Amino acid sequence: MQRIRLRYTKRGRLRFTSHRDFQRAFERALRRAEVPMAYSAGFTPHPKVSYANAAPTGTGSEAEYLEIALTAPRDPEQLRVLLDESLPTGLDIVEAVEARTSGLADRLTASVWELRLDGVSQEEARRAADLFNAAETVEVQRLAKNGVRTFDARSAVVSLEIPDLTETHGSQADRPTDQPCAILRLVVRHVTPAVRPDDVLSGLRAVADLAPPVPAAVTRLAQGLLDEETGTVTDPLAPDREAAEARSTAEPPAAATAPA
């Protein structure tokens, strides 16, 4: 059984699709692309698809991951193209590698988020970020199944900064030109309970009274293993690519056929 790991995106209006919506669209794409899927046993067999740490509804993402199991081998790049053509624009399959290592979910320990705050100046956002970074704890509240839950949003935040506008995600045409617009870059550990970008926004409101006039546009730029020394997030598919390259270089070349 071959396992393929895929990276996909949620862009534009498709950021409002729920995880359940994507699951239905992806299973239809598997059928359209005639992917030889492996199925679970039991009375209600379903395709063997493992989803890892899906982004919340309403947030965009450039780095969502899943893994599928196949009953027959397929070329990862050809499979990526077929699946991408079978999905709506905005839900894009951008990378596919054969799984040659274990524990993809274990390598998703942190995320990089970009928050666009329309109507907020860079100076106001920088002041709020400095106050948030200087705080030892920032308590926020979230409505959970068992009622309102209070937790610390500061401890999970590795870094919160104002990046150069030339380094931000997306085009300048997507941003208003007649009003201020601040961009926040956020690196957050995956902890329990999960600290989401909206929790950090609640924390900024608590410590600096920062309240954007319109909802923030949130995009996940990356997720993977957190490098504690540098505070960066590494590519979770890199070990699979490296293992594939090592195997291809280790395999002996095909024997030449002597002329008759």
Q: What is the pLDDT of residues 44-102, one digit of tens each?
A: 889 999 998 999 999 999 999 999 999 999 999 999 999 999 999 999 999 999 999 98
- Residue 260, pLDDT > 50, answer no
Q: Rounded CA gap, 61 and 94, in Å?
A: 12
pLDDT score of 173: 39
Per-residue pLDDT for 140 more than 90? yes
For residue 99, what is the enclosing H or E element? Answer: none
Distance CA(190)–CA(55), nearest Å, equals: 12
Residue 166 pLDDT: 61
**What domains are defined for the chain?**
2-106 (3.30.70.580), 109-233 (3.30.70)
The secondary element (H helix, E strand) that includes residue 256 is: none
Pick from 89, 44, 96, 91: which is nearest to 70 by CA?
96
- List pLDDT tens digits, range 204-258: 999 999 999 999 999 999 999 999 999 999 999 999 999 888 877 766 655 544 4
For residue 116, give every residue at least 6 positions away whose Cβ sits within 8 Å of its Cβ, in sequence order, or none.
168, 170, 175, 181, 182, 183, 216, 217, 218, 219
